[in-house]
Amino acid sequence: MGLASAVLVGALLAGAAQAATPVKEVRAWREANEKAVVADFIKMLAMPNVATNVADIEKNADYLTGLLKARGFTAEKLYAEPDTPPSVFGELKTKGARRTVVFYAHYDGQPIAQKGWLNDPFQPTMRTALPEAKAVDWQAGAGPLDPEWRLFGRSAGDDKVSVQALLSAMDALKAAGRKPSVNIKVLWEGEEEQGSPHFAALVNRHRETLKTDLIIMGDGPVHQSGRQQLNFGNRGIVGFKTTVYGPIRPLHDGHYGSWAPSPTVMIANLVMSLRDEDGRILVPGIYDDVQPVSPAEKAALAALPDVETGLKRNLAIGRNVGGPRLVDGYMTTTLNVRAIHGGDTGPDAANAIATEADASFDIRLAAGQTPERVKKAVEAHLAAQGWTLVRETPDAATRGAHPRVLKIEWDQGGSRATRSAVDSPPAMAVAAAIERTVGYPPIKIPTVGASSGMVEVVDALQAPMVGVSIANFDNNQHAVNENLKLDALWRGIEIYAALLSDMSW
């Protein structure tokens, strides 16, 4: 048929799909099952999942494998090699479906060492709307749960919500007698917050099993405006820790403060040699490999709604750094000082010179950069600043032999960035299914600021990737008091139901 006919058929198909959106049935099911969904989610969140603890990760993986099997999936744990954190793989074939979709999420979580948690991060607690956040007995009372309530616990937003939304969506579709429209493959990673050190090998090893036409990446929060968004890439990351050295024993600063080198000052100087307060990285050559922003990406960026004014109020900051738009920095590289520490603080602070001080950094990589070249540039810069770089804790002889000794420890892992096209047919099918669910076209972001192991998946599976986020933007991911708004969970279930049953291309 001719072009005009093809367009017509396409429009008719789209119309048929629109008639098939499951949102009403899914919402009705959810309204009838809110407490059961919350109870399931709490059970999942109560399982400790800090990525450094492989035994905990295994327990989570076993539990999730069971949940998939209970819903008719074939399911198993995939490994890169023995004794590494498994990914959970599940498959459910759909009779007659022409397309296969990999639904990616991660079930591991960030560390929990930060002070100030309102509740144990692994004892998920329902709380009233912010800023009150009062613990509430959500099981009492008859009516619907307040959608402004939030469930506080590690991974509530990053990223077990995506796992729960898919599972509940399957339940809702089954209750409604609705069939998926694609072959479903689930891939839930167990070491994302650790920097995905084994994930590339895992995906490559199971490339045939994971063969797909599209990867739906379910990580990250929705747009700060509260609107649904799609994204088409992630930044990469490399992290490192530095330690600087002063006298080998602590010294009275009255007697030695004018003569002995001070590690608390050296570490501050080191930080300021790497970036300025406005966010500009001072490492020569670090911007050289950054891929330029294309006109299409610029158009997508320009179309983003204003969030900055509200964000400044929300965050109580009297200024921002870098460009005026939040996303201005997403297309390039950013250096964050995770932590700086030296000496004792608080009321017991001693008038002493510390023996060492440290600072911890991570660099987000833009498309085009590689961890290897960034590491080289950083080390060359540090050496040029007069630092003698060592990999192990230096002994007294080493400390005494050089004017400025720096121990540098690179985090395991590290990843490149990835970016997929914003207008491929599967990407447009995702956007259409979500628009039919929420009633407006989702925002499109060429890349998010965060990192993930997805670059390896995209490379290995040679399939486009679309990021679909459902967590509320103010979910405190990676930080103290991570939480998920119930409203976000409800909408997430509807969106996953649409992605499972209302997509075709």
CA distance 41 to 351: 50
Pick the closer one to a copy of itself by CB: 11 or 383.
Answer: 383
Nearest distance from C-beta of residue 17 to a copy of itself, angstroms: 32
Cβ closest to a copy of itself, residue 475 vs residue 501: 475
Question: Which of 159, 494 has the CB closer to a copy of itself?
Answer: 159
Of the two residues 71 and 375, which places its CB atom closer to a copy of itself in the complex? 375
Token code pair at residue 95: 């009779």
For residue 445, give Cα distances in angstroms to 301, 485, 497: 7, 22, 22
* C-beta of 5 vs 258, nearer to a copy of itself: 258
Separation of alpha carbons 371 and 200, rounded Å: 15
Helix, strand, or coil (residue 10): helix
Q: What stretch of H or E contains 167?
A: helix 160-175
**Cβ contacts of residue 440 below 8 Å, gap of 6+?**
227, 228
User: Could you tell me the sign of the dihedral formed by the alpha carbons of 354, 241, 108, 136, in that order?
Assistant: positive
DSSP state of 129: S
DSSP output for 69-97: HHTT-EEEEE-SSTTSPPEEEEEE--TT-
| CA 336 to chain centroid | 16
What is the smallest separation between the CB atom of 475 and a copy of itself, expressed in angstroms?
Answer: 9
Shortest CB 315 distance to a copy of itself, Å: 4
Which residues 6+ apart lie within 8 Å of 435 measured at CB?
Answer: 441, 442
* CA-based R_g, the chain, Å: 25
> Least CB distance from residue 446 to a copy of itself, whole Å?
15
**Is residue 195 a contact partner of residue 237, using CB atoms and an 8 Å limit?**
yes
The smaller minimum CB distance to a copy of itself, of residues 16 and 317, is found at 317
DSSP 242: E
Residues 84 and 89: their CA atoms lie apart, in Å, by 15
Cβ closer to a copy of itself: 68 or 335? Answer: 335
Tell me how far, at minimum, the Cβ of 400 lies from a copy of itself, in Å: 4
Say how many CA atoms lie within 13 Å of 181 toward its Cβ. Answer: 19
Contacts of 170 (CB under 8 A, 6+ apart): 71, 500
Question: String of b and e for 24-52 (b: at least 16 CB within 10 Å)?
Answer: ebbbebbeebbeebbebbbebbebbbbbe
Least distance to a copy of itself, CB of residue 90, Å: 28
Question: Is 199 in contact with 456 (CB distance < 8 Å)?
Answer: yes
Provide, rounded to whole angstroms, the least separation between the CB of residue 151 and a copy of itself: 17
C-beta of 404: minimal distance to a copy of itself in Å? 7
Distance linking the first and last C-alpha atoms of the chain: 18
**351/462 with CB nearer a copy of itself:** 351
If the CB atoms of residues 54 and 337 are measured against a copy of itself, the closer one turns out to be 337
Least distance to a copy of itself from the beta carbon of 328, Å?
7
> Contact 77/91 with Cβ under 8 angstroms?
no
**Closer to a copy of itself by Cβ: residue 294 or 320:** 320
CB of 114 to a copy of itself, least distance (A): 6
